[in-house]
Amino acid sequence: MTDTLSSLWLALAAALVGTIVLAPCALSKEKPNPLLDRVKASVKDTTKPFTMIVTLQAKKGAGKKIEAAFAKAIKPTRQEKGCLAYYLDRDPKMPDQYIVYERWKDLAALEAHLKSRHIVALLADLGAALEGSIESRILLAVGD
């Protein structure tokens, strides 16, 4: 009987350890970010700077919403330690298309940027204003 009771206590203790220690680890797993995955696949030396060109297509008439959302994120992004450049541009001949020019010190800087409060809010604000898929290009400096 004592062995059975001891076994129950061990099983209960193991279950509690699994719930308290392991469950938060499982919950903290983040969803993969396709943009980050693309950068990781393109950048061989993750400690070197790189540039991203991101093209966004606004839904008809949603341009002002996109510009307002970015207006809240541009300044804090430029103040991030690893941000070397961050611009939102628009071609006057294609008013519903936006180009985001980003230059990052290294991959860690981009990872921190994508988790920042202002970028999480930006992405939430942009959702309904965008049409189609987001296109991106990763550029590496020549000769570095």
What was the pLDDT predicted at 144? 64
What was the pLDDT predicted at 2? 42
Q: Are strands 50-57 and 83-90 parallel, antiparallel or unpaired?
A: unpaired
**Which tokens go with 120?**
């999480």
What was the pLDDT predicted at 30? 63
| Strand, coil or helix: 37 | helix
What was the pLDDT predicted at 85? 98
What was the pLDDT predicted at 23? 36
Rounded to whole angstroms, how far apart are CA atoms 68 and 47?
33
Task: Confirm if 99 and 53 have CB atoms less than 8 A apart.
Answer: yes
Rounded to whole angstroms, how far apart are CA atoms 52 and 11?
51
CA 46 to chain centre: 16
Q: List the chain pLDDT tens, one digit each, 144 residues.
A: 444 333 333 333 333 333 333 333 344 456 778 888 889 999 999 999 999 999 999 999 999 999 999 999 999 999 999 999 999 999 899 989 999 999 999 999 999 999 999 999 999 999 899 998 889 999 999 976
Q: Which residues pair with 88 in a beta bridge?
A: 100
